[in-house]
Chain A
Amino acid sequence: MSEPILSARDVVVKFSLRGQILTAIRGASLDLYEGKTLAIVGESGSGKSVFTKTFLGMLDANGWVDSGSIMFEGMDLAKLKTEREWLKIRGKKIAMIFQDPMTALNPLRTVGMQIQEVLELHQGLKGEEAKARTIEILGQVGISDPAMRYHQYPHEFSGGMRQRVVIAIAVACNPRILICDEPTTALDVTIQAQILELIRGLQKKLGLTIIYITHDLGVVANVADDVAVMYAGDIIEYGTAEEIFYNAQHPYTWALLSSLPQLGIKGQPLYSIRGTPPNLFNEIKGDAFAPRNPRALKIDFVKRPPYFQVSPTHYARTWLLDPRAPKVEPPATIKAMRAKYARDAI
């Protein structure tokens, strides 16, 4: 396999909140490969947004990277301090789009000017040339009649169209990595499908590397080449989309997949996880998921599991993969998914 474009190692992120220290990311590692889409799945509070914000130096003022490294183009992003250093990365090399497009748009300026400004600032284009390129980009992100839309304000656009504009601004200076933080969560399914298609198309055309943050496994199945599953500030399983969907290993991934109504059988109860994710103010001992896992091992409460390798691309942080561990049957849904995978593999 080729060299990763971005490589995060044992990243620990802490926040100070109400006089207490909260450990939001507890030593997460990640490799990102050129031209691929990596989906980070997790619940709210799992740290998926916080983790990727460290790649851009966009943590809130009360948070900091405590230890670990984030290597990108021979630089350790975890060591960057000043805003000036970050400005060379943020937007230029790594761009990010958010759930609410209005956070990125200025309501008082026309859409065209906002894109053109980015082009002029970063690519040195001027006047008519910049305008022509702006209209071209607007067309590229699927906005019909871009020459007319160029002169309109954000409020004249629908939610889906605004998100397209934000994507246009993000790709305007040809970043290497595009981080999408739940860009379709606030949109209707029909619009969501179109935005996903757009992102996939842009990736092919521009050779982007994409990190896609979401809690929706349906969306993951649509966009992802690779999948990282996060729980309580840690990546607990990592693999290709097929490996995660058809051969999941961590009990939390099992639970996530089998609790989906889409995969459930009507009239029968869904597989459900008891309780709620842990409070990150407290120190977490062992496997963070153990208190909610009815078949947790004793060691899960004592020692944090290391990554066990399942395949060259597939890792999972669970003691169940240790040779000494007893055999645990995955839930029915997972077995069905595995059977499907096995059948197709032959």
Chain B
Amino acid sequence: MIADTREVLVEVKNLRVEFKGKGKKPFVAVKNVTFDIYKGETFGLVGETGSGKTTIGRAIIRINPVAEGEIRFKGQRISGIIPKELDREVTRKIQMIFQDPMASLNERAKVDYIVSEGLYNTRNYKDEKDRQAKVEKALLEVGLLPEFASRFPHEFSGGQRQRIGIARALIMEPEFIICDEPISSLDVSIRAQVLNLMSSLQKEKSLTYMFISHDLSVVRFIADRIAVIHKGEIVELAETEELFRNPLHPYTRALLSAIPVPDPRVEREKKVLVYDPRVHDYSVHKPKWTEIRPGHFVLGNEAELSQYEKLLAS
């Protein structure tokens, strides 16, 4: 195996997140999730509604408490109770971009306050003038006009609002941004704007992204590596092209086959696979999270793994 020289920024180990319901038994949203995110990459997390992908993102940014396992940022544990000093640092360095720009901005506050909210919290400005300069810079960086600072969010369109959300994260000078479906509620013609903006910002500021989405085609375009999550468990993780070339887990294959392709001839020829969880027989041999090829992880028991090996060989 090739030694990996890339610097690990975020480590998630055996993560388990539970929600207390009405009954005694808590609802398990995420279980046995393990992955690393390297510095400077875009890590895609793909899954369907209720798969737990958003829960993982919120666990990393510490909105959802961790039931088991741990999360590390730059080698330091950030899950559970942590010292105040570290808390402040993590608050600044990990940021989040939300799904719905209509819901994620405070309608009753001016853009100026929304963008500087993080600055106020960290006191990361010298004086009022410095703060205003920072707000102006952040707005310009996302392609908005500085005069927008004195307006309220409802005056803006979805794409502009999403960029206000990005400016709010950028002003903290973060290193790691969790993007939770940042373009799925935007109009088609606006999506490219936001995707381009995110890519160029990543290059400029050497940011690391975790890109959460249900749309494999978008993730394919933007992510370096992709993890596929199903019912709270990651079933496969590989570099993007490797995953598209050699999907192993039947769920990944079903998901890949279902993506609509904007090309009528291709689209009409395609064969949709249906995933049936009953294909797995885990009664005797339990599945294990295994690196089947360097960088290509898959969840399966021994019988399945040998079958996947064969698939890879052919």
**Which residues from chain A sit less than 8 Å from chain B, CB to CB?**
43-44, 188-190, 192-194, 197, 215-222, 224, 241-242, 245, 255-257, 259-264, 266, 269-274, 276-277, 337, 344
Contacts and interface: CB of A to CB of B under 8 A. Distances in A.
A190 B274 contact: yes
A215 B275 CA distance: 26
Interface stretch (B62-70, B133-141, B260-268): B260-268
Contacts of A189: 48, 214-216, 255, 258-260
Interface stretch (B4-12, B21-29, B185-193): B185-193
Contacts of A256: 188-189
Contacts of A242: 264-265
Interface in B237-288: 240, 254-255, 257-268, 272, 274-275
A344 B265 CA distance: 11
What 6 pairs between A and B have smallest CB-CB spacing?
A218-B260, A259-B192, A261-B221, A272-B192, A276-B157, A188-B48
Nearest to A45: B187
Given A221-B267, A259-B192, A262-B217, 20 more contacts: A188-B48, A188-B49, A189-B216, A189-B258, A190-B254, A193-B258, A216-B260, A220-B262, A221-B266, A224-B264, A241-B264, A259-B191, A266-B221, A266-B240, A270-B196, A271-B192, A276-B158, A277-B157, A277-B189, A344-B265
Nearest to B199: A269
Contacts of B190: 43, 273, 276
Query: Chain B contact residues (Cβ within 8 angstroms of A): what range?
Result: 35 or more
Interface of B: 48-49, 157-160, 187-193, 195-196, 199-200, 214-218, 220-222, 240, 254-255, 257-268, 272, 274-275
A70 B72 CA distance: 63
A43 B188 contact: yes
B264 A43 contact: no
Nearest to B251: A190
B154 to A, nearest CB: 13
Contacts of B260: 189, 192-193, 216, 218-219, 221-222
A270 B192 CA distance: 6
B144 to A, nearest CB: 12
Given A189-B214, A218-B259, A245 B264 contact: yes
A262 B221 contact: yes
B255 A272 contact: no
Contact of B193 (A188, A216, A218, A272): A272
Q: State the main secondary structure of chain A at its contact with B.
A: helix
Contacts of A337: 263
A221 B189 contact: no
Contact of A222 (B214, B216, B268): B268
A245 B193 CA distance: 21
A217 B199 contact: no
Contacts of B191: 259, 261
Contact of A257 (B195, B257, B262, B275): B262
A273 B193 contact: yes
29 contacts: A43-B189, A44-B187, A188-B48, A189-B48, A189-B214, A190-B255, A192-B260, A193-B272, A194-B272, A194-B274, A218-B259, A218-B262, A221-B266, A221-B267, A221-B268, A256-B189, A259-B191, A261-B191, A261-B222, A262-B259, A269-B196, A269-B199, A269-B200, A270-B195, A272-B193, A272-B195, A274-B193, A276-B157, A337-B263
Given A43-B189, A189-B216, A190-B255, A263 B195 contact: no
Nearest to B188: A215
B196 A272 contact: yes
Contacts of A270: 192, 195-196, 221
Contacts of B215: 189
Given A273-B189, A273-B192, A276-B190, A262 B258 contact: no
Contacts of B214: 188-189
